[in-house]
Amino acid sequence: MTGKEEERTINCVPDPTDINGVPTLGCYTKTFSNWSLATEIERLIRINSVVPLEPDYEFHKDGCLSNDTYFDNPKTFYKRGKASSNAQKVQCKSCGKYTNLLPNKSQSTTYAQKRNDILPSFAEHLINRVPVSSTCKILGIGRSTYYSKLEWLYRCCLEFLETHETKQFAKMTFPRIWLNTDMMVYHLNNVRKKGQPRTKGTVSEKQLPTQTVVSTDSSSRYVFRADVAYDWEIDFKQLEQNTETYKDDHLPMELRKNAKYTKYSYYPMEPTPNDTQSQNEYYLEMKELQLRGKYVDGLHVNHTYTAMAQMFLIKDMVKTDKWRVLSDDDMVLKSAIKKAFSVEIQQGRLHHFINTFDKTLSREAAFQEFIDSNKYLRNWAEDNFLSEQSVYEVAVEYLKRRLAVHKFYETKIAPDGTDYAVHKSNKIEHPIAMADRGSRYIDVLTDTSKLSNEHLARLIVRANDNSVNAFLQEIRRSLSILERPLVTSRGDGKSYIYSNFNPK
């Protein structure tokens, strides 16, 4: 291992037992906490799972001779019709006590919900960029009701997914999956908790940049997962208990339970005589932590952990033998994909494509590149007697001929004569440009030496990030809390006036 305590890496060294074999190439990887990754996977499963309501029923009066419940022995009860909430009423045959059973969602959507008639209108407001205050005025509800209805609607969506989609995924096997993944950053307003006074001379961040990791299917545009790298359930009391129990403040980052919180991976402990930390350093750490504790609950999660957890969950959910993954040139996504799909990459069942473009181009210049690219491809098709073919087939044939001399790897020979492929950064221009971004460039990070030129050409032509971009644009434009920032009236910065105050 090399590097600082907080940024350690594992370097591959030459194999001492086979110095004439294929070399290790000097690769390196950043260390992460498996324990913390497991807790992140558990968090994503927990917040996206429906916990059924299980009321504690009292089926009998005191002194009743029967101890059976309706679910264990329904023959000891009479059915007495339905209540106004559509709940089944049962009566004990011995003591005569009536009990209302909680109806399921198919029987009643309004059980224990006041003003549930506003839910359809509330959902329309939510996805049509209506601010929270305006929704409250129109529907005649308070802020607390707004957020309780938001959680209830989210629960209904999770129940729909569990009933109609999750079970179907368990039964289906796909011949191949085109996974398109990307991240979006949005800002949370960092506000002080109620009753917390402003501390003179110390101001926390006004906005909290927050990452959302999204993965979609490129063909159907189905969204597999969209996870926010923010844990609103963690508090500093839990961090303190974990630090006292596991001595996290004395462990390397990759061994800490809460390493995913990075900046707050442990709770500061007063140094002992044998510690290297000074008393002044301890006070500074405590001061920073106490200041953060005065603001909104929860902590940001290192989005690498969220991305890795998402990849593991998608891999577990989707059954397929062939994976095709497309992302941008982001180290977080590349690291997450390599770690989650290491076996599939080694077996040649996953190919990872990188899609990049020139972000400095203006919209006019990008559109001009789009026009020029289309014109060049049409002229090339006419010169090669392919004008009758579709644009897709022309692009495939064009790339097929380019790939005869363009390689994403180079072949080397080990001292014992074994051939091995080494990836080299050698992007190829996609023959079909995009109107809003201009020319695109594709790189392949996995071994393509066993693919034919035609097969690889068809994969490259299909490589695009339209599905994930469409989803990101949809939620960004539909949800007011994710709206793009506005330039302030003074022109000296950006204002996130629509950002949410509630991370959850």
C-alpha distance from residue 154 to each of 44, 48, 50, 145, 454 (Å): 15, 9, 10, 14, 45
Helix (H/G/I), strand (E/B), else coil: 89? strand
Looking at residue 461, its pLDDT comes to 94
For residue 163, what is the DSSP state?
I
- Give me the tens of pLDDT residue by residue for the chain, a chain 504 residues long: 444 456 688 888 887 788 888 888 878 888 899 999 999 999 999 988 876 556 778 888 888 888 888 888 888 899 888 877 677 889 998 888 888 887 766 555 555 566 677 888 998 998 888 888 888 899 998 888 888 888 888 888 888 888 788 888 888 999 999 999 999 988 777 777 777 776 655 555 667 788 999 999 999 999 999 999 999 889 899 999 999 999 888 888 889 999 999 889 999 998 888 888 888 888 988 888 888 888 888 899 999 999 999 999 999 999 999 999 999 999 999 999 999 999 999 999 999 999 999 888 888 999 999 999 999 999 999 999 998 999 999 999 999 999 999 999 888 888 888 888 888 888 999 999 999 889 999 999 999 888 999 999 999 999 999 999 999 988 888 877 666 665 555 445 566 655 566 777
Q: 155 with 189: CB under 8 angstroms? A: no
Q: Is 288 exposed, middle or buried (0-12, 13-18, 19+ CB in 10 A)?
A: middle
How far, in whole angstroms, is CA 101 from its chain's centroid?
38
For residue 259, what is the DSSP state?
G
The C-alpha atoms of residue 139 and residue 128 are separated, in whole angstroms, by: 15
Q: 169 with 161: CB under 8 angstroms? A: no
| Structural tokens at position 250 | 């004395």
Looking at residue 194, its pLDDT comes to 76
The C-alpha atoms of residue 238 and residue 39 are separated, in whole angstroms, by: 13
| Structural tokens at position 208 | 């909290």
Looking at residue 3, its pLDDT comes to 42
Looking at residue 21, its pLDDT comes to 82
Looking at residue 292, its pLDDT comes to 85
Looking at residue 110, its pLDDT comes to 56
For residue 320, what is the DSSP state?
B
- Residue type, position 107, single letter: Q
Angle at 31 between CA 214 and CA 49, to 5 degrees: 35
Write b or e for each residue in 76-112: b if 16 or more Cβ atoms lie within 10 A of its Cβ, otherwise e. bbeeeeeeeeebbebbbebeebebbbbbeeeebeebe
The count of C-alpha atoms lying within 13 angstroms of the C-alpha of 2, restricted to the half-sphere facing its C-beta, is 7
Contacts of 106 by beta carbon, 8 Å cutoff, 6+ apart: none
Contacts of 37 by beta carbon, 8 Å cutoff, 6+ apart: 260, 305, 308, 309
Helix H or strand E segment including 306 = helix 303-317
